[in-house]
Amino acid sequence: METDALERENAWAVSEPPRDEDNGLLGIVRAVQVGLVFWGGVALLIWAW
């Protein structure tokens, strides 16, 4: 279940072309969101195990 969410997130990130105006604050927000998704998945796997 977590892998499906990560695959959808990766596919969405790949299908979204980078724009010049997204390099600033939005890039930081995107990185934080990806980090939260990743560590949330890791925490869920550890908790389930």
Residue 35 is assigned to a structural domain of this protein:
yes
Residue 18 is assigned to a structural domain of this protein:
no
Note the pLDDT of residue 25.
80
Report the alpha-carbon distance of residue 31 to residue 40 in Å, rounded: 14
Q: What token pair was written down for 3?
A: 């892998």
* Contacts (Cβ under 8 Å, ≥6 apart) of 14: none
Residue 32 is assigned to a structural domain of this protein:
yes
Q: How many domains does the chain have?
A: 1
What global pTM score does this model have? Answer: 0.42
Q: What is the pLDDT of residues 3-21, one digit of tens each?
A: 676 565 655 555 555 555 5
User: Which residue, among 46, 28, 2, 49, has the nearest Cα to 10 in the 3D structure?
Assistant: 2
What's the whole-number mean pLDDT along residues 15-34?
73
Residue 37 is assigned to a structural domain of this protein:
yes
What's the whole-number mean pLDDT along residues 37-48?
94
Residue 36 is assigned to a structural domain of this protein:
yes
